[in-house]
Amino acid sequence: MKCKSLVRAVFLFAAVYLSGQEYQEMRINATIETRCKIELSTNFVSFTRSGQPTGALIPQNEPPVVVTVKTTTRRAVRIYARIVVTGDLTDPNSGATIPAEAISWTASGSGFNSGSLSKATPQQIGDWNRSGIYQGTLTFNFQDNTSYYPGTYILVVTVTVSGF
C-alpha cells in the first residue's frame, strides 16, 4: 500500500513542477521524396551454343534473374523499369559483333513485361502505378544465327528504375 501512495506523490509533484515551467512549441516537417530502387539476383547471364539446331533460341545457362523493384511515390506517379543498351555483343579478341536484338527475355510477375534488347530505345521490363515492392523474374534467350562467328561475346546493359 505504501508503494502506491509513493508513486502518486511523485506524479503529483512532477505535475506541479512542470506546470510552473515556460514552454514553446516546435514544428517538425518531414519531406518524403519519390524513391525508386532496383535489385537483381545476379549481374551475370550467359549462353552456350553447342549442338543446337540452326537458328535455335538458346536459353540462359543460369536460373532466371529475380528483379525486385521498391518504390515510394506520390499518387498518380508511374514507375518504369527499363534495360538500356548502348551497343552490340562484341568479341574482344576478333572484334566480331552480334546485334543486341538477338537477346530477348520472358518475364513473370505482376507488372513485368517480356521483350527484346534494342540499341535504339530503352526497353521496358516493368511498370507500376503506385508505391510498393514488386518482384518478378526475367529469363533471357539468345536467338542463334549461322552467320555468328565462334567466340566469347560481351555486352553490358544497364537496368534502371524511375518514377514520373
Within its chain, how far is the Cα of 100 from the centroid? 21
Residue 18's pLDDT is 55
User: For all residues of the chain together, what is the average pLDDT?
Assistant: 86
pLDDT tens column, 78-109: 899 999 999 999 999 999 999 999 999 999 99
Average pLDDT over residues 58-84: 92
Residue 19's pLDDT is 59
**Which of 38, 32, 33 lies closest to 161 in space, CA to CA?**
38
Q: Is residue 36 part of a domain?
A: yes
Residue 7's pLDDT is 42
- Give 12's contacts (C-beta < 8 A, 6+ positions apart): none
Q: How many CB atoms lie within 10 A of CB 100?
A: 20
10 Å CB burial of residue 67 (0-12, 13-18, 19+) is buried
Q: How many domains does the chain have?
A: 1
Query: What is the rounded (10 degree) CA torsion for 130, 66, 47, 116?
Result: -10
Residue 4's pLDDT is 34
Q: Is residue 143 part of a domain?
A: yes
pLDDT band at 3 (very low <50, low <70, confident <90, very high): very low
**Which of 79, 67, 66, 93 lies closest to 150 in space, CA to CA?**
93
Residue 140's pLDDT is 98
Higher-pLDDT residue of 160, 56? 160
pLDDT tens column, 4-47: 333 444 444 445 555 567 888 999 988 877 788 999 999 999 99
Q: Is residue 16 part of a domain?
A: no
Q: Is residue 105 part of a domain?
A: yes
Whether 34 contacts 163, CB under 8 Å: yes
Q: Is residue 95 part of a domain?
A: yes
Q: Is residue 120 part of a domain?
A: yes
Q: Is residue 50 part of a domain?
A: yes
Q: Is residue 118 part of a domain?
A: yes
Query: What is the domain range of residue 118?
Result: 31-163
Residue 36's pLDDT is 87
pTM for this model (two decimals): 0.79
As a whole number of angstroms, the distance between CA 73 and CA 46 comes to: 35
Whether 82 contacts 147, CB under 8 Å: no
Residue 17's pLDDT is 54
Q: Return the CATH number at 137.
A: 2.60.40
Give the H or E element holding residue 66.
Answer: strand 65-72
Three-class secondary structure of residue 98 per DSSP: strand
